[in-house]
Amino acid sequence: MSLLKPEEGWYYKKVSKDEKMWMLIALVLCIMMFIWMVLWHVYGKQNPSSLTYRTSTTEFGKLSSAYIKQNMVGSDNGVPVVRPQPNTDVFLLAEMWRWSPVMILQKDQAYKMHISSRDVVHGLSIQPVNMNFQVYPGYDYVLEFKPTEAGEYKIVCNEFCGIGHHTMIGKIVVIEKDEDLKLYGYENFKKAPDPVATFKKEAMSETEMALQGEQVYTLKGCAACHKIDGTSQLAPSWKGLFGKDEKVLVDGKEIMVSVDESYIIESIKDPTKKVTVGFEKTPMPVFPLTDEEIDFLVAYIKTLKN
Ligand code: CUA
């Protein structure tokens, strides 16, 4: 209902010429924009491939870790770095709270990126270019692209995915020639190292075990929460952890424990039994690790002294 009553019979009045003109212009503009929308899909080269496959978190997890194992050239802050061959399939896994792996891509070469999540819905946003996609668990989203500018691109998560959401930042580095690797501190990341021979644990030295442990740390995602630089935001840092006394909660009671081999093994196998005071809000999930991998991790943690 309007405030003022319109004049009686107003709708019988003829529409004036100017008004008709404006209506026509608006109609033509609408039709033009509609046609442009369809044309842009074909000529704009802005649309993603929109190819999606059904997968499962376990299957995609297996594919991506096998992929990383094959193509890893190094690691950056605990996240594996890969250097895929052009025109190949690349796997990017989103999980609470990291993007893995970091990729070194070649300018003007095409890649087919498979993206999926291990847990909840994440948002893939590549900065500073305007690319935004949702990443769902159980779906393999395929993004075909060709980077046309060298530089460092950050992958930001733009879907709130829990307490560590703001720390979920990944990286894509696009280079033109091998020398560019130096710009990112990746000068040693030229080619994948020879595949690690399967060692017999009994015949390995502590150093070899620790090296294997470092791989487990990056490949199995420990690095998402446990940092090795002394910062403890989501979980206790592993730097200087071994041999330290920690205050933990057991059935709601605080007790002191000394971090030794058996404590670390117990914490990995049954993470909620003893929870470090201060980290009750970010409980650790159970990771499917073999006993051998756990031994490697212990050896690795031992080397991270203050
Ligand atoms: Cu992942 Cu927010």
Domain end, chosen from 184, 217, 249, is at: 184
Give the pLDDT confidence score for residue 43 in this predicted structure. Answer: 81
**Any atom of ligand 1 within 6 Å of the Cβ of 168:** yes
162 domain residue, yes or no:
yes
Give the span between the Cα atoms of 96 and 165, in whole angstroms. Answer: 7
Domain total in the chain: 2
Domain end, chosen from 154, 184, 214, is at: 184
285 domain residue, yes or no:
yes
Domain with 57 in it: what CATH number? 2.60.40.420
CA of 68 to the centre of ligand 1 (A): 21
pLDDT digits (tens, 9 = 90+) for 291-306: 888 888 888 898 888 7
Q: Low-confidence residues of the chain, pLDDT below 70? A: 1, 49, 191-204
pLDDT digits (tens, 9 = 90+) for 228-266: 888 888 888 888 888 888 888 888 888 888 888 888 888
Whether residues 79 and 138 fall in one domain = yes
Whether residues 57 and 159 fall in one domain = yes
Give the pLDDT confidence score for residue 79 in this predicted structure. Answer: 84
Q: Are 167 and 234 in contact (CB under 8 A)?
A: yes
Whether residues 173 and 232 fall in one domain = no
CA of 246 to the centre of ligand 1 (A): 30
Whether residues 213 and 248 fall in one domain = yes
Its sign, for the CA torsion 145, 146, 147, 149, is negative
41 domain residue, yes or no:
no
**Any atom of ligand 1 within 6 Å of the Cβ of 159:** yes
**Which residue has its alpha carbon closest to ligand 1 atom 1?**
122
Instruction: Find the domain containing 70 and state its range.
Output: 51-184
